[in-house]
Chains A and B, each alone.
Chain A
Amino acid sequence: MALIELRDVTKSYRRDQNEIAVLSGVTISIPEGDFLALMGPSGSGKSTLLNLLAGIDRPTRGTVRVADTDIGALAERALAAWRARHIGFIFQLYNLIPVLTAFENVELPLLLTNLSKKQRRDHVMTALGIVGLTDREKHYPRQLSGGQEQRVAIARAIVTDPMLLLADEPTGDLDAKSAGEILTLLQQLNGEYRKTIVMVTHDPHAAERASHVLHLEKGTLVEQASLAR
């Protein structure tokens, strides 16, 4: 069953008097539990597609349905609530809040819920346990390595137990060893915890860890490959 359905999605931006098309008529169906890698050169529309799936951007035309919700039709406030409940987002540059500890960074999405302090603590420690950083809960981002920062960012993405994880070049700023560990963690989240993952990457080695790869070029889908794990 498809978790994500994109139908004839077009996204364009206006710059001065010109309309620049970033995505043109993209149609994709992504099943629940999939681990999809989106590849393509810079400017091909990968990140834009990811932003549309996350509900932080809206298509110019077409529909984006995630778990039977047409997210393009949601109002801003409803869309924010939907993101908080269903989406975990992993950034290339981790984007942790520097003045918060690892624990507080992971707790950030839970402050929007009605969970008690103890429940929030339990959830945070579970998420940190999954990424193997329970002993770093009181560390600030500046006290962590790049790989550890990205693992905290992953814990923040999974702490609300979302159905969909979106990763924008999650290994783009890491050395090969750390990148390998992050990809293993994503595979674990996909395999053991049945998280559907869409990952944007430039790196063919990273894409190999996914179960499917989609190639975008100049805003259109050009190739689809299925990879055997």
Chain B
Amino acid sequence: MKFAGLILKSARRSKRRTALTVLSVAIAVFLFAALRAVLDGFDAVAEASSATRLVTIRSTSMIFNMPTSHGETIKSIPGVTDITWANWFGGIYKDPKNFFGQFGVDAESYLRMYPEIIVTPEVKRAFLEDRTGALVGEGLVKKFGWKVGDRVVIQPGIPLYGTQDYTFTIRGVYKSGGSNVDNQTFLFHWKYLDERSLQKGEVGWFVTQLADPGRAPQIIAAIDQKFANSPYETKTDTEKAFSASFASMLGNLNLLLGSVALAVVITTLFVAGNTMAMSVRERTTEIAVMRTLGYPARTIFLLVVGEGLMVAVAGGAVGALLARLVINAEYLGMAGGFIPQFGVNNWNVVVGLGLSALIGVLAAMIPATMAGRLKIVDALRRVA
């Protein structure tokens, strides 16, 4: 502790340089925390997904539909207790920038199988009774200033669903009761969609409820087996695996974001290392004087490492604090969106601080070794 003041004063020697180093580490930790928040958000969606629900899509791609008759076949498989279905609408509300998920769903079974979509009995009844009604997440209502009873016109985004605009009436607002359900989705009746569709009786995906999650592998195999060698082969997975694969459609996120984070950290390491080396080089005489006063090489080494550590952890704290404040769904207006749980958790703050400490120690290692090995006489002669 008695050396803390000395380390602090050394770090404040060139305030601008120290501030820039602190800033560079802060940016690195901020980016690291932001990237971790994205990955954790996807993980949270997958983790919160039900283990008792299966999702069945066309084996070729999710963008191709399959006949509703598949539903009856799936329902007949032992172990399946319920089934629902939905279609991706992909419509445009006023401007393509106003992107949000729009699902045509079999309303009654969908709400039954997704208890995470929280609505009052009155809202549920009002939605079920109106063929052109819509049930929207509270995030969307907040975003567009909608209220119950409003008429919303959406232009179809997929040619299959015609060219004429669809007019919906908002019949209720739902709350999200789990991380796997966002609060920015627009649900409407599949029947309304099917009436206007160019190909009738087609479904985007089925969701199957299981009695026993332990039998999921057998039932998955049984479902896909039923449609093997048919014009509409299927691919079934648990909802969790489906969520994870949905995220992976964006590419290998772990690798991509991990590489970006690593590049940022390594660059910062070089920047901080160069700054520390410069700072130590400028203090050659002072280090030689301290050695003359009896400071052992090891103490000098630890003082330089301590300085690197102090500067880097200060940057880490700034970066982690900023990330904690800025990277959260509420602040960014993403609450309940595509990644419902988007934010920097305590663990990532701790990892960010640990990372900054590592940057500090590694960046100081070479300058500290140079300082520790300094030959006193040579150093004094160099400046005399």
Chain A positions near chain B (C-beta within 8 angstroms): 51, 54, 56-57, 76-77, 80-85, 87, 89, 91-93, 95, 97-100, 104, 108-109, 111-112, 117, 156
| CB <8 Å contact, B289 and A104 | no
| CB <8 Å contact, A95 and B285 | yes
Interface string of B4-24 (1 = CB under 8 A from A): 011001101100000000000
Tell me, in angstroms, the Cα distance from A81 to B291 when the chains sit together: 10
| CB <8 Å contact, A100 and B9 | yes
Interface residues on B, range: 20 to 34
Chain B positions near chain A (C-beta within 8 angstroms): 2-3, 5-6, 9-10, 12-13, 285-286, 289-299, 376-377, 380, 384
Subset of 18 A-B contacts with CB under 8 Å: A56-B377, A56-B380, A80-B291, A80-B294, A80-B295, A84-B293, A84-B295, A95-B285, A95-B286, A99-B9, A99-B12, A104-B5, A104-B9, A109-B293, A109-B294, A111-B3, A112-B293, A156-B293
| CB <8 Å contact, A80 and B297 | yes
CB nearest neighbor in A for B297: A76
- A56-B376, A56-B377, A99-B12 given; A112·B5 CB < 8 A: no
Number of A-B contacts (CB under 8 A): 65
- Residues of chain A lying within 8 A (CB to CB) of residue B2: 111, 117
Tell me, in angstroms, the Cα distance from A34 to B384 when the chains sit together: 27
Tell me, in angstroms, the Cα distance from A131 to B304 when the chains sit together: 31
Tell me, in angstroms, the Cα distance from A51 to B297 when the chains sit together: 18
Candidates B286, B297, B299, B380; contact of A112 at CB < 8 Å: B299
- Residues of chain B lying within 8 A (CB to CB) of residue A156: 293
> A66 → chain B, closest Cβ, in Å?
14
- Residues of chain B lying within 8 A (CB to CB) of residue A95: 285-286, 289
| CB <8 Å contact, A56 and B292 | yes
Q: A99-B12, A112-B295 are in contact. List 17 more A-B contacts (CB 8 A).
A: A51-B377, A56-B291, A56-B376, A77-B296, A77-B298, A80-B294, A80-B295, A81-B294, A81-B296, A91-B289, A92-B384, A104-B5, A104-B6, A109-B294, A111-B2, A117-B2, A156-B293
> A34 → chain B, closest Cβ, in Å?
22
Tell me, in angstroms, the Cα distance from A85 to B377 when the chains sit together: 20
Tell me, in angstroms, the Cα distance from A46 to B6 when the chains sit together: 33
CB nearest neighbor in A for B285: A95
> A46 → chain B, closest Cβ, in Å?
13
> B2 → chain A, closest Cβ, in Å?
5
- Residues of chain A lying within 8 A (CB to CB) of residue B294: 80-85, 87, 109, 112
| CB <8 Å contact, B293 and A89 | yes
> B35 → chain A, closest Cβ, in Å?
37
> B287 → chain A, closest Cβ, in Å?
10
- A80-B291, A95-B286 given; A57·B377 CB < 8 A: yes
Q: Identify which of B286, B296, B298 gathers the most chain A CB atoms within 10 Å of its CB.
A: B296
- Residues of chain A lying within 8 A (CB to CB) of residue B5: 104
CB nearest neighbor in B for A51: B377
> B10 → chain A, closest Cβ, in Å?
7
| CB <8 Å contact, A80 and B296 | yes
> A215 → chain B, closest Cβ, in Å?
21
Tell me, in angstroms, the Cα distance from A60 to B286 when the chains sit together: 26
- Residues of chain A lying within 8 A (CB to CB) of residue B298: 77
- A77-B296, A83-B294, A97-B286 given; A111·B376 CB < 8 A: no
Tell me, in angstroms, the Cα distance from A86 to B297 when the chains sit together: 18
Candidates B10, B293, B376; contact of A99 at CB < 8 Å: B10
CB nearest neighbor in B for A80: B296
> A50 → chain B, closest Cβ, in Å?
10
Tell me, in angstroms, the Cα distance from A130 to B104 when the chains sit together: 91
> A45 → chain B, closest Cβ, in Å?
13
Tell me, in angstroms, the Cα distance from A125 to B285 when the chains sit together: 26
